[in-house]
Structure 1
Amino acid sequence: MKHVVVGGTGRIGSQVVAKLTAAGHEALPAAPSTGVDIITGKGLDQALEGAEVVTNLANSPTFDEASLDFFRTSMDNLLAAGERAGVKHQVVLSIVGVDQVPQLDYYRAKTLQEQLLRQGPTPYSIVRATQFFEFMDSVLAWTSDNGTVRLPTTRLQPMAAADVVEGVVEVATRTPLQGIRNIAGPDVFALDDLGRITLAAEHDDRIVVTDDTAGMFAAVSGDALIAGPDAHLAGTHYREWIRDHAAAGA
């Protein structure tokens, strides 16, 4: 089966391509570096020729209001090119709780992407994942200043990127869901506590100060980013992952 992985050279996409290939599928990455531009449409028809499944892992270069145009244009182009090519399954990676945080431009943009996919001509699947373990250092950097890191108590259920890859591949190689699958890590944390766990494991002397106005996740209320009882839970625990990750980087 031929799979085209849009964004197939990125953190998740490259692993999805490798895993699909190892399973015996023909898996081709589609990205600017392979001659495919999902905004202008350049190279899309050639890339999708003969493809049965398109897995869209492309990400907006910004997280502001411009992300709305990125996801609108790219989704329209992918759906049109997929229909011309006779693609039988369109898969998109999205975010758990994405439609519950309209205060964030990026989340509104991803919600729009999901809506366009559902309204499109091709059977589809939406994989909603929680925040990646690998992004914690970036989250800490957003509000770090003079030896302190300010973080809200927002509840998260993060997961390892490798487990996201597993979830995406499982969905992409099966019958279209015509709906959403939520995937998440096994543990729930308050973000400020998650920051303390991370800094301790990395032997980082910065101190976490609880501040419910700090950073992007301050806009999230309640359990919007918690996967819920229907989620498929991955097996990798953050405390074990960050311990091994920190040791490997030592």
Structure 2
Amino acid sequence: MKIAVLGGTGLIGSQVVTLMREHGHDAEPLSPANGVDLLTGEGLDAGLKGADVVVNLTNSPTFDDKSIDFFRTTMDNMLAAAERQGVGHAVILSIVGVDQVPGLDYYKAKVLQEEILKNGPVPWSIVRAGQFFEFMKSVLSWVVEGDKVHLPTTPVQPLASAEISREVAQVAAGRPLNGIVNIVGPEVFPLDELGRIALAATGDPRTVVTDNTAGMFAAVQGDVLTGPADAVIAKQTFREFLAAQAG
């Protein structure tokens, strides 16, 4: 099976390409580095020629309202090229609970991306994932005052990018779902507690202040960023991940 992976050199994309190749598929990473530009459409037809599946793992460079135009343009370009080239399956990576956070422009942009895919001409699958363990470093830099990190108590169910990548690869190798699969970690944490665990594990002397007005997740209501009842549950815990990183 030939699989074109847009964003195939990023955190998830590079792992998906490796996994697909290990399972005997012809997986090709596509990015501006090899002449494929989703924003302009340049190189897309050549990149998708002969592909059975296209996996879109690209992301907006910003998390503000500009992300809406990014996803609209890139999805329109991808689906138009995929239809011209006869691609039989399109896969995107999205976020658990993304359609239940109307107060975040980035989440609205990801919902738009999903809707464009659903209403497009190519059979499709969506993988919605919980927050990445790897992103905690960025989260800990959002609202910092001196040696204090401000985080809300928003419940999250994070997991390792490696397990997300395996789920994406598995979905891409299968028949189109014309539906959504969710994958989340084995544990639910308030975000502020997750921050404290991360700081302690790395010997970071900063302290976490619980602040339900801090950062982008302050706009999240309730436990919508945790997995639904039918979600796939990843195996690695956050503490296991941190121990592996330290080792």
TM class, shorter-length:
over 0.9
Q: Which residue of 2 aligns with 1:149?
A: 149
Q: Which residue of 1 aligns with 2:190?
A: 190
- What secondary structure does 1:142 align onto? coil
Alignment of 1:1-250 (within 5 A): 1-245=1-245, 247-248=246-247
Mark the runs of 5 or more structure 1 residues left unpaired by the alignment: none
- What secondary structure does 1:59 align onto? coil
Q: CA offsets, 1:114-142, max 9 Å, x none?
A: 00000001110000001000000110011
CA distance in 2, matches of 1:208, 1:22: 41
Q: CA offsets, 1:15-52, max 9 Å, x none?
A: 11111011111000111111100111000000000000
TM-fit CA distance, 1:244: 2.3
CA distance in 2, matches of 1:88, 1:125: 11
Q: CA offsets, 1:126-179, max 9 Å, x none?
A: 000010000001100111221111110000000100001001001000011010
- AA matched with 2:103: Q
RMSD across aligned C-alpha pairs, in angstroms? Answer: 0.7
TM-fit CA distance, 1:243: 2.3
- What secondary structure does 2:93 align onto? strand
CA distance in 2, matches of 1:17, 1:85: 21
TM-fit CA distance, 1:205: 1.0
Percent of aligned pairs with the same amino acid: 60
CA distance in 2, matches of 1:243, 1:122: 42
Q: CA offsets, 1:208-248, max 9 Å, x none?
A: 11000001111101011011211001101001111221x23
Post-superposition, which runs of at least 4 consecutive aligned residues in structure 1 deviate over 3 A? Answer: none
Mark the runs of 5 or more structure 2 residues left unpaired by the alignment: none
TM-fit CA distance, 1:110: 0.4
CA distance in 2, matches of 1:242, 1:95: 22
With 138-147 and 124-133 compared, the bigger mean Cα shift is at 138-147
CA distance in 1, matches of 2:32, 2:40: 11
CA distance in 2, matches of 1:29, 1:61: 19
CA distance in 2, matches of 1:138, 1:127: 23
CA distance in 2, matches of 1:149, 1:164: 27
CA distance in 1, matches of 2:10, 2:187: 26
- What secondary structure does 2:140 align onto? helix
What TM-score, normalized to structure 2? Answer: 0.99
CA distance in 1, matches of 2:207, 2:60: 32
- AA matched with 1:206: R
